[in-house]
Structure 1
Amino acid sequence: MADGAALVEEGIGPAQSPLVAVSFQRNVHRKEKYLEAEPKALGITQIGLSVFQITCVAVFLSKGLSDERADIPFFISSLLLIIAGSLAVAARNLHLPTLKACLGMQIVACVASVFNVIFSMMKMDLMHYGCWSYYYDSNSTYLEEICHKLESTNSHFFAEVVVIQAALFAISVTLAAYCCKVVNCCSPAPKMPVITVHVPPVQQ
């Protein structure tokens, strides 16, 4: 009788634990997706381009070719881009609070880049040099030539600023998109199917 009971219990076992079980679990390696964006390269590029922009504007200020009050917002937005680039590099340790801070700063960097583009285009129109010769003396032709060169340099500089800010905007959008995938701020964390195979014990 005891042997019969043991046989019944063994018969119930396989029904309770199927050979193949499918479950859905969160991907523990999802943070590593951020590294696919090459954050070190993009962050260093963000920092380098922003420092270059600040240096160029500082040279214009030192030569008296720009207005200090008008350039303060440009300096502030460029500093925000440097901070965003630094956080992008620091987030390579895949620490979740750092990734969240990186996401927030990259969104701020996008706004700062758009502001710098608009500011540069407005300043290009405001800093228009009037190259007119009122007195026809021996130096008028020379001064007018210098004025035209200065006007051309000014136009090229602000065109270069617009191109660089567009590149910085693209970098910020890319890093923000990858941070968003890791942080899962827009949608719940994706789950991946896990298939478990139960091998029945070999009966002796």
Structure 2
Amino acid sequence: MEAAHSDEDAVVEEGVSPNQSPLVEISFQRNVNRKRKYLEAEPKFLGVTQIGMSAYQIICASVFLANDLGRPGGDIAFIIACVLVIIAGSVAVAAQNLHLPTLRACLGMQIVACVASVFNMIFNIVKMEMIYYSCWYYGDDNNTLHIRETCHKVVSTQSHFHAEGVLINVCLMAISVTLAAYCCKVVNCCAPAPKMPVITVQAPPVQQ
């Protein structure tokens, strides 16, 4: 009887082991797929849009400069700002590889692109206000009437271009803010990466 009782005690002792390793274990781990959230912003489409719109503005500004219809100092600064937006769009497309340094570079360039878009928007507004006074020095005599009409046509074209430029840069600013927001979520520059609960269910040991 004592031998049988001791055997039962041994079985009970072995049965305690499941308490030492619980069947359900809850742990908090970082989401390994968090970087893929950047792809939800459609960075390829938005980056190509930034490149295309900025290239269009550079071509138009260059045409005006080539025909002495602009001010070199201001227009060159405008073109430089457009080039910065093109670089930001290129980095946004390259960041699709989800490489963390590239995502950080994308965040920095999108902030720069946002500032550049605001500058270009203000530049277009100022140019649109100043352009109406460029034909005032022509007189009303018959010799200068044709020149004055041509001047007004050119001014009208420039005015439409600058008004369009304001809308384009508002759009570019919105794109930069969107991409920067998604980059910020991925690189965790504002807060540490959140951890998600992971529940692990272990199969109970088979008792013999």
* TM-score category of the 2 structures, normalised to the smaller one: over 0.9
Alignment partner of 1:155: what SS?
A: helix
Return the alpha-carbon distance in structure 1 between the equivalents of residues 165 and 23 of structure 2.
64
TM-score normalised according to structure 2 size = 0.91
Residue 107, structure 1, aligned to residue 111, structure 2:
yes
Alignment partner of 2:160: what SS?
A: helix
Structure 1 residues 2-43: Cα deviation after superposition (integer angstroms, max 9, x where no partner): 634532432321212222121111000100111111111111
Of structures 1 and 2, the larger Rg is shown by 2
Number of residue pairs matched by the alignment: 203
CA contact (8 A) 1:54 1:78 kept: yes
CA contact (8 A) 1:22 1:194 kept: yes
Unaligned runs of 5+ in 2: none
* CA shift for structure 1 position 119: 1.4
* CA shift for structure 1 position 201: 2.0
Structure 1 residues 32 and 135 mapped into 2: Cα distance closer, same or farther (>3 Å)?
Answer: closer
Return the alpha-carbon distance in structure 2 between the equivalents of residues 176 and 83 of structure 1.
14
* CA shift for structure 1 position 136: 2.5
Identity among equivalent pairs (%):
64
TM-score normalised according to structure 1 size = 0.92
Instruction: Tell me the equivalent position of 1:136.
Output: 141
- Alignment map for 1:31-46 (pairs within 5 Å): 31-46=35-50
RMSD: 1.7
Unaligned runs of 5+ in 1: none
Return the alpha-carbon distance in structure 2 between the equivalents of residues 59 and 132 of structure 1.
24
* CA shift for structure 1 position 149: 1.6
Alignment partner of 1:189: what SS?
A: coil
Alignment partner of 1:127: what SS?
A: helix
CA contact (8 A) 2:41 2:182 kept: yes
